Structure 1
Amino acid sequence: MKQRFVYFATVLCSILFLFFGNRAASSGMPEFQGIYQDHCVMARVEGILSRQSAAQEIDGVFYGRGTNILFAAEILNGEERGQLVTGIQNVDPESPSQLRDVKKGDRVILTYNPVEGAAITWMLGEYVRTDALAVFGLAFAAVLILFGRRKGVNTLLSLGFTCLAIFVVFIPAILSGKNIYGWSVAVCVFVIVMTLLIVEGANQKCLCAAIGCFCGLAVSGALTLLCDHFLQLTGMVDENSMYLKYLIEEDPIDLKAIIFAAILVGAMGAIMDVAMSLASALRELHEKAPECSAAVLFHSGMTIGRDMMGTMANTLVLAYIGSSLSLTLLLMAYSRSVIALLNREMIVVEILQSLVGSSGILLTIPLTSLVCAVVYSHAKGTADGKAPEPLPAQPAAHEDMPL
């Protein structure tokens, strides 16, 4: 009954945090206008009308290249829903990001592009990819529930709250000019507490994992601030940083704080994984061998943690390299000096993310092991509050029993 109350209270508090957090984070956010404000609709291709050469002859010289595909499409959403319109796709064989030719039945994104003197105002923008993503997402959810059962459902719920915290609280707070350091810490604390309480419940295991997470997160944040001072970072990592810098000219976004938040959020998942796995393993050891002392539990945690440390550090490094693989390839191909390459802020930040995340994991292991050793060794019952079942009694030896 107590666990059920904690579960529903956590869900209710999470909803309240998202609601009021969004209102506080969104206050004062300016209206952003840009190229992504174009009028776009979803449509289904009903048929191909014609294929025409895109080249035009002017004074005996041909301008343009490729082929224009005209197609009929039915709009599926918005005010124009149900209307049959004519769309155009320009197929340029030399374009590096050319979409495949449209065909009947395709679901596409059409962009309204009225050009003076042009008969066709709808252009092919993208293919609708969210349908396939939804199928993959449902398959993932089904496998997770099938394998994890109730904990699988709780994992999906915590994942949903985590995504909402990032997209409806954290990002609006940045765009509205709030203090990025404070909001990043607040969101990370919320995600840790919410995830552990929903997935694990209020017990000793959850307490130990939470303390380990907070310690590891504090270490990661402190190291990031320290390295920021010594590495003399500007936050201008790439061209996206430049666009972000001038997004709000009156009150520019702090790019160094963006690096801090990115490192903290990126390390949080790995730190939480290590702390929870270690707390769970030591809890299981304590239940199977309740006579283990605090010293034995601590040394066991350190032994388990060393094995986890190597794989989790590799996970962080490979994740950061994989997310920026194209950029890394370009830099390696066009850089003549290895020293200059390694000192570029873009590369420095990637290395810093890996080092800080790995350092957070490294210090989470002994801290979580120590907390688990103290809490479990002084606990009289199991994580659910029940006393451990006694081992089955062995038959007493009798004097006339054969040896």
Structure 2
Amino acid sequence: MKLTKRKMNDTIWILTLAISILLIFVGNRIVSKDLDLFVESDSAAAKANVVEIIGEQQKDYSLGGQEFKNRAILFKCKILNGEQRGKTVTVSQILDESYAPLKEIELKDKVIIYNYPSEEFGTEWVFGDFARLNVIIWMSLLFFVLMIILGGKKGINTILSLSLTCLAVFAVFIPSVLNGYNIYITSLLTCIYTIIMTLLLVNGMGKKTLATICGCVFGVIVSALLTVGMDQFLYMTGYVDEHSVYLHMMNVENPIDLKAVIFGAIVIGAMGAVMDVAMDIASSLYEIQQHMENISFHKLVRSGLTIGRDIMGTMSNTLVLAYIGSSFSSVLLLITYTSSMTELLNREQIIAEILQALVGSTAILLTIPLTAVVCGILYTKKSETSTEIKKNDEK
């Protein structure tokens, strides 16, 4: 019987992985139809390696009655990708005093350059930015190695689920938004897909997984209903910053629903916190039931609520601080150019951030009792196969 259960668990894992990949592939083909992304332009970007520093030039100019120096470092670099790979070109790095300071180019730096002629300094290419992706890749590899060392098989499954989640968002959800699909529906489908796929890959099939899925789906539905309901009272337009304006102008005939974009951001953002809370409750109550097999439904639910009270404070703080941190620069700028606190707090951009935090925190609060009740029903239910299911959950 052990072997049969193990084979069943492996079969579910393989099916979950295969179906998840298939859904992403098919979903991407459907939502990306007739959608052109990353289209190369005349000023196409290229990655290059700095091979020689030629020198520098300086130009003076006035802006708003003030004098500024426009300094440029001229250098040669070898293109590392694209049609012009291997070609050595001359590039100018413009260091403008009126903008943020940049690190000056040095030999062997990896940079991103644009095929955009600079008449002022006589170069065909201009410096765009430093190539930072390699550093992030190495840091990601370190994270993955630590995940595997500390998490073992579950660490590998976590990496797989994280990768599939990112693919679902960037390969399906985002193209669906840009191609005019209903954002309300695609947001919820993305959340449900992520919840089921993640929990089946990481925990396998079992009561603990089922209880967590129920709690997560309920939390996502709560956040969706709250967001739609509050929109009736807040009169949101979706124009929270300059990026919203650009999104609206991308397709004037069939513009992106900016209010739905806010909905998607809130629901997907809340999903992560809700999943964390539901998993904490389900896992904790499962361990309690393992060590107290005869525990009653009421005692188990009461234990879940007690654990939930300890979790809700830190999780709500985590959610609020995450949203504040992500928009910290915008908040600083708005405070500088706002005459009063009342005006600041009534700005749509600030209201959207507060709404995200409140909806996510409310979803967490309501997810706790529901998950506890579902765990109480599933964990205390007597059946002939309870022992086998427990062993399957432990794996």
TM-score, normalization by structure 1: 0.90
- Counterpart mapping for 1:4-153 below 5 A: 4-29=10-35, 38-55=43-60, 65-92=69-96, 94-114=97-117, 119-153=122-156
- CA-CA distance at 1:252 after TM superposition: 0.7
Distance across 2 between alignment mates of 1:367 and 1:37: 56
More helix by share: 2
Is the Cα contact below 8 Å between 1:287 and 1:382 reproduced in 2?
no
- CA-CA distance at 1:64 after TM superposition: 7.0
- Counterpart mapping for 1:1-400 below 5 A: 1-29=7-35, 38-55=43-60, 65-92=69-96, 94-114=97-117, 119-380=122-383, 381-382=386-387, 384-386=389-391
**Aligned residues between the structures:** 380
Counterpart code for 2:19 = C
- CA-CA distance at 1:118 after TM superposition: 6.8
**Residue deviations 1:109-158, cap 9 Å, x none?**
11111356974201111100001101111111111111101100000000
Is the Cα contact below 8 Å between 1:108 and 1:128 reproduced in 2?
yes
Counterpart code for 1:309 = M
Distance across 2 between alignment mates of 1:52 and 1:80: 27
Is the Cα contact below 8 Å between 1:309 and 1:362 reproduced in 2?
yes
Gaps of 5+ in 2: 1-6, 62-66
Q: Return 374-383 or 280-289, whichever deviates more.
A: 374-383
Q: Residues 39 and 184 of structure 1: is their aligned pair in 2 closer, same or farther, counting only changes over 3 Å? A: same
Q: Residues 117 and 245 of structure 1: is their aligned pair in 2 closer, same or farther, counting only changes over 3 Å? A: closer
**Residue deviations 1:169-227, cap 9 Å, x none?**
00000000011111111111100000000000000000000001111111111111100
Counterpart code for 2:243 = N
Q: Residues 383 and 50 of structure 1: is their aligned pair in 2 closer, same or farther, counting only changes over 3 Å? A: farther
Is the Cα contact below 8 Å between 1:30 and 1:176 reproduced in 2?
no
User: Which of the pair has more CA radius of gyration?
Assistant: 1
Q: Return 47-56 or 249-258, whichever deviates more.
A: 47-56
Query: What SS does structure 2 have at the residue aligned with 1:27?
Result: coil
- CA-CA distance at 1:25 after TM superposition: 1.1
- CA-CA distance at 1:239 after TM superposition: 1.4
CA RMSD after TM alignment: 2.0
Query: What SS does structure 1 have at the residue aligned with 2:105?
Result: coil
Gaps of 5+ in 1: 57-62, 389-403
Counterpart code for 1:51 = E
TM-score, normalization by structure 2: 0.92
- CA-CA distance at 1:37 after TM superposition: 6.8
Is the Cα contact below 8 Å between 1:219 and 1:360 reproduced in 2?
yes
- 2:64 maps to what in 1? none
Is the Cα contact below 8 Å between 1:88 and 1:124 reproduced in 2?
yes
Is the Cα contact below 8 Å between 1:54 and 1:90 reproduced in 2?
no
Distance across 1 between alignment mates of 2:366 and 2:392: 32
Is the Cα contact below 8 Å between 1:205 and 1:383 reproduced in 2?
no
Query: What SS does structure 2 have at the residue aligned with 1:147?
Result: helix
- CA-CA distance at 1:383 after TM superposition: 7.2
Is the Cα contact below 8 Å between 1:204 and 1:383 reproduced in 2?
no
